Structure 1
Amino acid sequence: MKIEGGRLPAAHPRSARAFSEISMPIRIQRTKLFRDTPPGSAYVGRGSRWANPFLSSRFGHARAVGLHRAWLAGRLSRRILGRLGFNDYEIAALERLRRRTLRSLDLLRGRDLICWCNRTSRYCHADILLALANITDLECAA
């Protein structure tokens, strides 16, 4: 997947399923009572290959999601990551993880994504993954 100009598409609309005849993937909130992963969905929280490497406990929730967006767009240089407190080893690991994450977005295409964020939260890395995984060829050309 190629991201032109370091820009990512806008966040995926949470209400797409209610207002569209075409069933678009959505973000599903995981809770402690959550037992099974619904068919056609994928967990993208901690412990998954799509987890946000920028911890909310370290950066705050909104900033962690913003860093995730910038990181996937390739806008976080080694220098910026160093200023955020990452060492050279961690920066190299983040670069490898970014490449793997972008290559594996096809596995999320058309699937609902499950995370721990509150469904009404404006900030969630799953929304970024939804937008990237379900981007159309027309959006890539724009």
Structure 2
Amino acid sequence: MSAPGIGRRVTEAELAAMDPAPLLAQWPYGPHHFAEAAIAAAIALHHLHTRPRSLTFLAEIVRRGGLAFTLDLPEPMPVPAQGALVREWLTAAASVKDGTPFDVETALARWFDAVAAILGMRMSLVRPPTPRGE
């Protein structure tokens, strides 16, 4: 699977439409995929009004408790919609085959930290869209 932005500029709409889960399931992959998946995740979470510190906390849970422990959390994020989205990413990362010479938990924690940093920058520059009906 090729990410949409290799060799050309990627629009925000393309990144917003991108699903990070397939890239997380294919670890290890190149740094351009890591960045694009993190940006796409930050855009999706920004639309759900997610606070960056929630992701930083989740990254710490992955580091200290492991991926299996994190997947067993009943509510990995403060808001159910945020939790459902993050659970997809956790499940995708957990699908990486055992025995892969790659530390998925460390990479996932770093990825969540990167998503939190991008989300924080984004929040300082752009207001998230208002959900319909509010």
What is the TM-score of this pair, normalised by structure 2? Answer: 0.26
The structure, 1 or 2, with the larger RCO (C-alpha pairs under 8 Å, 6+ apart) is: 1
Instruction: Give 1 or 2: higher strand fraction.
Output: 1
Question: Would you tell me which structure has more helix in proportion to its own residues?
Answer: 2
Q: TM-score, normalised by structure 1?
A: 0.25
